[in-house]
Amino acid sequence: MSQDTVQMVAEAPAFRPLSDFAGTLSQRVYASLKEAILDLSLRPGAILRKGDVCEALGVSRSPVSEAVARLASEALVDIVPQAGTFVARLSLDEVREGAFLREALELAAVEEVARAITEEQLVELRRNLRLQEGLVADGDIRGFYAADAGFHELLLSFTGHRRLPGLSRTAWVHVDRARRLLLPEPGRVEETLAEHRAILAALEARDPEAARAATRAHLRQVVTRLERLGTERPELFA
Amino acid sequence: MSQDTVQMVAEAPAFRPLSDFAGTLSQRVYASLKEAILDLSLRPGAILRKGDVCEALGVSRSPVSEAVARLASEALVDIVPQAGTFVARLSLDEVREGAFLREALELAAVEEVARAITEEQLVELRRNLRLQEGLVADGDIRGFYAADAGFHELLLSFTGHRRLPGLSRTAWVHVDRARRLLLPEPGRVEETLAEHRAILAALEARDPEAARAATRAHLRQVVTRLERLGTERPELFA
DNA sequence: ATCTTGCGACATGCTAGCATGTTAGCTAGA
DNA sequence: TCTAGCTAACATGCTAGCATGTCGCAAGAT
């Protein structure tokens, strides 16, 4: 019961306007809410009143309800029937599960891709990698993260499976949210770049096992640092 | 309204009553619809009118709408806005993707489990395997499939990840639906049983690579037969 | 002072009806 | 006879209001 009581004032939602997104109202509400949750601008553990969301976004309750249901299926919110909806707390268990899922998917992908990658696909990866190098040189960290995501999305799309990239992103959601807590470490982007180069090298060699090893090493970096954070500051996680 | 003709009766959805399920109305509608889709009692490609579902199940349109939205997220139905909702056609691409996903998850799981499986967990697996043997001996194929599913669910649960079994089941959905088209092959259940024994043996030996190999061989059986069916009778798939 | 108990407020889930965009069928013209 | 355009029915998406179950607070009893 010793919950936070002081921060009632800091409950300013500040959602991105719906006009920034496309699709049906439900999808737009979903996108806006999800972004707010991943941003941590909706604090973990905070109550999420559907009525407030309706008023803030200027829509009725059906689209909000559907959007919240989708978020619940990703464990980003907890719905307690007839009681309330709460933003999911940060949880090391969820981080571990998300990391496990993404690692499983991505290892299977690179293993398959390494066996039959085409020259055109390698060209795409090399181009993305050069883009990353440029962004690092310019110090554009935000752009680098976007290119990073693009690199992984390219890899997954090479399997030919349409829904795989989206599933991987969904799996990674809890890791990504917790990552906001990590302070930027000097030299980390250069390490990331080197890890991407190692993955590309394994794919150029068409060596499935090397590709798996490089991808695994790459993906475990973030989780390792989050585990360390969990032991150093356990109060951050539920 | 006009009376149902004889041919209309063939289109009778025949949903399982909602009282057979638990949870909110949305969840029950979802379960009932999903079962009908997997049963193929809702024909692939058929139009799925929400109004009809409402009337058949005796509920309003909101829970139906939410249930259908969930089905759409699993690609079991296609929603065309302001036009109609259709039961997804059988698709070899979806079968391949579902098989890929489940294989990725389950290989990662057994690899991890093999490293640190406890004696109690092995006991659970052995007990399940003996159950399978008994059901095969009794010729209870339906019961055997249930025990089969339980075997895999046990394996996945040993990772400690809560949502993993459900995700694997979701991934497998398209394979499972297409499997209804396969004629039962004599001796297949005994082969399945042998494959399960091989997985268990690898786990008892705490050999991650052997566990991966055995699991992979097991999971690819169904897909191989479905691929064959796809070349022999391409008209069955979209 | 503490524990219990009852009442009030409230958040979600559901129902019913309106707005919007699509599709199919029919009609008129070439 | 075939095509093009129009109209009418219709399916979904959204809005607004009712039913149901939960949680919190306060007053009273021990």
CATH among 1.10.287.70, 3.40.50.150, 1.10.10.10, 3.40.50.300 for A6-87 = 1.10.10.10
Read out DSSP for B57-102? HT--HHHHHHHHHHHHHTTSEEEETTTEEEEPPP-HHHHHHHHHHH
pLDDT for position B42: 92
Which residues in A lie closer than 8 A to residue B97 (C-beta atoms)?
A: 161-164
Which tops the pLDDT comparison, B221 or B11? B221
CB pairs under 8 A between A and B: 65
pLDDT of residue A184: 85
* Cα B143 from Cα A168, distance rounded (Å): 34
* A75 vs B93, B105, B163: nearest CB: B163
Domain boundary assignment for chain A: 6-87, 92-236
Architecture label for domain B16-87: Orthogonal Bundle (1.10)
Q: Extract the tokens encoding A115.
A: 């066996």
Fold agreement (B16-87, B92-236)? no
Residue B97 contacts A where some CB pair is shorter than 8 Å: yes
Distances (CA, A) of A26 to A33, A130, B235: 11, 38, 36
Alpha-carbon distance of A40 to A18, in angstroms, equals 19
A54: the nucleotide nearest its CA (via C1') is D15
pLDDT > 90? residue B177: yes
Predicted local confidence at residue A186, as pLDDT: 87
Q: Report chain D positions within 7 A of protein CB atoms.
A: 11-17, 20-23
Residues of B in contact with A161 (CB under 8 A): 96-97, 100-101
For residue B187, the distance in angstroms to the closest alpha carbon of chain A comes to: 31
Averaged confidence pLDDT in chain B: 91
What's the pLDDT score for residue A159?
A: 98
The confidence score (pLDDT) of residue B12 equals 57
For residue A161, give the nearest of B100, B105, B164 by CB distance: B100
B92-137 tens-digit pLDDT: 999 999 999 999 999 999 999 999 999 999 999 999 999 999 999 9
Q: Which of A61, A79, A105, A220 to mutate to test the interface with B (most CBs of B within 10 A)?
A: A105
Alpha-carbon distance B75 to nearest alpha carbon in chain A (angstroms) = 9
Residue B7 confidence (pLDDT): 34
pLDDT in tens, B186-209: 889 999 999 999 999 999 999 999
Contact flag B75-A159 (C-beta cutoff 8 Å): no
Q: What is the pLDDT, as a whole number, of residue B14?
A: 74
pLDDT in tens, chain A (238 residues): 333 333 333 445 678 999 889 888 999 999 999 999 999 999 999 999 998 999 999 999 999 999 999 999 999 999 998 889 999 999 999 999 999 999 999 999 999 999 999 999 999 999 999 999 999 999 999 999 999 999 999 999 999 999 999 999 999 999 999 999 998 888 899 999 999 999 999 999 999 999 999 999 999 999 999 999 999 999 888 7
Half-sphere exposure of A131 (CA within 13 A, CB side): 16
Here the tokens at position A58 are: 């200027």
* Strand C, nucleotides covered by protein (CB < 7 Å): 11-17, 20-23
Name beta bridge partners: B77. Answer: B87
* Reported confidence tier of residue B156, pLDDT bands at 50, 70, 90: very high
**What is the predicted pLDDT for the residue at B1?**
36
Cβ within 8 Å, pair A100-B161: yes
Residue B4 scores a pLDDT above 90: no
Contacts with B73 from chain A: Cβ below 8 Å: 70, 73
Helices (H) and strands (E) in chain B — how many of each? 10, 2
Query: What superfamily does domain B92-236 belong to in CATH?
Result: GntR ligand-binding domain-like (1.20.120.530)
pLDDT at A12: 55
Q: Is A154 left (phi over 0), alpha (psi -120 to 50) or beta?
A: alpha
What are the tens digits of pLDDT across the range B38-66? 999 999 999 999 989 999 998 999 999 99
Residue A6 pLDDT? 33
Residues of chain A contacting B93 with CB distance shorter than 8 Å: 162
